[in-house]
Structure 1
């Protein structure tokens, strides 16, 4: 596992020890960043269920200003912290060992919107729709932002959640599918 592109391209990242997390493969990571835009001119990223932190670190390497990494597992938080040290992004990151829902509730109170939101919950605990509802109803996504939902291929997410519209679905295997959401464009 490595940083695919940007200022830290090629830097190796640690995986979370054990089998409790499944990191997004380099191939899938490269493909999804090609879809959402290969490079960014600032903005903040939110990596829910961060695991090793690979998606948020990739966003930082490609130009995001700051990333918030959330995972409730101690081993995952330590791995994210180690990977941030390796990539020298500690000052551009906030790492939280908390439940993803609790963090979303805190972010609602702060009113902090993100350009990129990555959601990759365990496949047995698909929480995308309620989280999308929280994100949409509380404007936690910037107008030009994208929510990236990694989920089991046996799950079909809705085409629309409030103002959030599914803009693309990319199936990578019999196991992994990613759905992309952004705010629906309104005709004036």
Structure 2
């Protein structure tokens, strides 16, 4: 989807077929519907009641999809003020009370007081190459529960350097995107 197409659809759960308004912003790259469908099929057994962190949220489609499918709450972090406001507007329009938006850089956010999340969406702007730095802060800063799930989206052919404790659960490709779901090991083997 191009940045200018204006709307994307929630594909499952209580908000199924709801539309998210998407601002026309350079570099905004919403996760494709078929990728979200695959990801949330993988997460179906574990999503209910989970506290989630949507880091580099962009449109917030991943976090809103999680809420639609039974996540307890989602913390959205988005540095672009226009994208963050569009996300807030979508949450209000869809009457979502258990989503909170922080307008700040993901790296700055992760320097704050940590609370552990059971599911994290890590999908930074591809051009900024932030995967490894943000993953390290998530792992070392107390942001992940002992058996957290971490979704990582990156360019096809790129496997970011991630903490040893993140074990690949499943992965796939769609167009120029690699998407992967990791599970944090309780202890290194």
CA drift of 1:135 comes to 1.5
CA drift of 1:46 comes to 0.8
Aligned to 2:102: 96
Tell me the alpha carbon deviations over residues 87-133 of structure 1, each in whole angstroms, 9 at most, x when there is no partner.
Answer: 211x2111111000011111xx2x31112111111111121112212
- Give the TM-score, by structure 1 length: 0.88
Give RMSD over aligned pairs: 1.9
CA drift of 1:20 comes to 2.8
Distance 2:188 2:31 in 1: 36
Aligned to 2:173: 171
Is the aligned partner of 1:54 residue 2:61? yes
Runs (5+) with no aligned partner, structure 1:
none
Aligned to 1:73: 80
Q: Is the 8 A contact 2:165 2:187 kept in 1?
A: no
Aligned length: 182
Aligned to 1:116: 119
SS in 1 for 2:11: coil
SS in 2 for 1:82: helix
Instruction: Say which structure is richer in helix.
Output: 1
- Give the TM-score, by structure 2 length: 0.88
CA drift of 1:137 comes to 2.0
Distance 2:118 2:37 in 1: 18
Q: Is the 8 A contact 1:52 1:83 kept in 2?
A: no
Aligned to 1:162: 164
